[in-house]
Structure 1
Amino acid sequence: MPLSGPSGTRDSPGEPDLGDLIVRVARGLRQRGAQVVAPWDLAPHQARALRTVARHDGIRPGELAGHLRVAPRSVTDVLDALEDRGLVRRHPDPGDRRAMVLTLTASGRRLVAEVDAARRADAEALFGRLTARDRATLRRILLVLDAEEG
C-alpha cells in the first residue's frame, strides 16, 4: 500500500520522500555552486553577498544579513573580505550618517557579471534536462514554498 500522508510526500515505500529529495538536490546545487565560483577564489557565501549587493545597491549591512538569512555579525567578516579585495565599498548612508551602506566597485560589478554568466550556464546544464513547462512548474512551486518560509 503506498505511503502518502496529508502532504503526499511518498508514492511508494521504496521511494524517498519529497523532503529527502529536496535535501539531496539542494546539496548537489551547493556543491555545483561552490565549483562554479571557485575560479574567482570566492566562497559561495561571498558570491551570494556580492549578488545581493548588486541587486540592492546602497543596502545596509543589517539588511544584507536579512536577505542572506544570517545573523548581522556574520556579515561583517564577509564584507571585510570583499572590501579587502576591492569588490565592495562601505559608505556613510546619506539619510543617516551613523549608518553605512554598501556598493559594488567597478571590479565587483565585473566579477558579479562573470559569476552570473557562469551560474546561468551551470543552471542550464542542470535544469536543461527539464522541459520548459517543468522548469516553470518547479519555479512556481519553489516560489510558493519559499514565500511560506520568508
Structure 2
Amino acid sequence: MTTPDPDGLLAEQLLRLTRRVHRIQKRHLEQNDLGVTPAQSRLLRTLAHCASPPRMADLAERLEVVPRAVTTLVDGLEASGKVRRMPDPANRRVTRIELTAEGRTTLRELGGARRSAAEEILAPLTEKERQVLGVLLDTLIEGDRDTRC
C-alpha cells in the first residue's frame, strides 16, 4: 500500500485550478469581444507595469517565453493598434514596445473581464476564505518579486 503524497496532491490541485482559471478567463475575454488572446492580454498587462517602454528581449524574459513568441504577440497587437514599436533613442538596433491609447483602453476593459472571471472562480468562497486565500497566495508568490521590466 502506498502512502499519500500531500505535496503531489496539492500540485495536482494547483494545476487543475490554473487550467480552470485560464479556461474561464478565456471565455470572459471572448464574451467581451476584446479582440485579444489570453497571451496578448498578459503582454499588455506586463507593458502596463513597465516604467518605460521595454525591449522585446526584456518582454520575453519577463513573460518567460522565447523572443519569437513575443514578436508574434507584438505583431498581432500592433496590427490592432494596441501597441507600437519604437526605436531606442540610444541604440537604433534596439526596438522598444509601448502601449497606445487604444491599448490602455483595452487594458481597462480587460480588467473588467478579469474581475468577472475572478468573481465566477471565487463564488464558492466566503469573504473570510477569500482573505485567507489571498494571504496564502501572497506567501507562495513571494519568491517571484521581480514584477517590473
1:102 matched to 2:97: yes
Q: What SS does structure 2 have at the residue aligned with 1:101?
A: strand
Find the counterpart in structure 2 of residue 44 from structure 1: 38
The equivalent of 1:14 in structure 2 is none
Using the size of structure 1 for normalisation, the TM-score is: 0.80
Q: Could you tell me which residue of structure 1 aligns to residue 16 of structure 2?
A: 24
Could you list the runs of 5+ residues in structure 1 that have no partner in the other structure? 11-16
User: Which residue number corresponds to residue 65 of structure 1?
Assistant: 60
- Rate the CA distance shift 1:93–1:140 in 2: closer, same or farther, 3 A: farther
Query: What's the CA shift for 1:147?
Result: 4.3
- Which one is further off, 109-118 or 57-66? 57-66
Contact 1:61 1:100 in 2 (8 A): yes
Structure 2 CA distance for aligned equivalents of residues 100 and 145 of structure 1: 34
Between the two structures, name the one with larger relative contact order (CA 8 Å, sep ≥ 6).
2
The residue aligned with 1:125 is: 120
TM-score by length of 2: 0.81
- Residue 25 of structure 2: which of 26, 33, 57 is its match? 33
Are the counterparts in 1 of residues 81 and 103 from structure 2 also a CA contact under 8 Å? yes
**Given the superposition, is the C-alpha separation of residues 42 and 139 from structure 1 closer, same or farther in structure 2, using an over 3 Å criterion?**
same
> Which of residues 9, 16, 33 in structure 1 aligns to 2:7?
9
Q: Please give the secondary structure, in 1, of the residue aligned with 2:7.
A: coil
Find the structure with the greater CA-based Rg: 1
Per-residue displacement from partner, 1:34-84 (whole Å, max 9, x unpaired)?
Answer: 112221222110111111112214111111112211111211011011101
What secondary structure sits across from 2:94 in the alignment?
Answer: strand
Distance 1:22 1:2 in 2: 22
Identical pairs, percent: 35
Query: Which AA in structure 2 matches 1:28?
Result: R
Counterpart code for 2:19? R
Aligned position for 1:114: 109
List runs of 5+ in structure 2 lacking aligned partners.
none
Assess if the C-alpha contact under 8 Å between 2:25 and 2:113 holds in 1: no
Q: Is the 8 A contact 1:37 1:47 kept in 2?
A: no
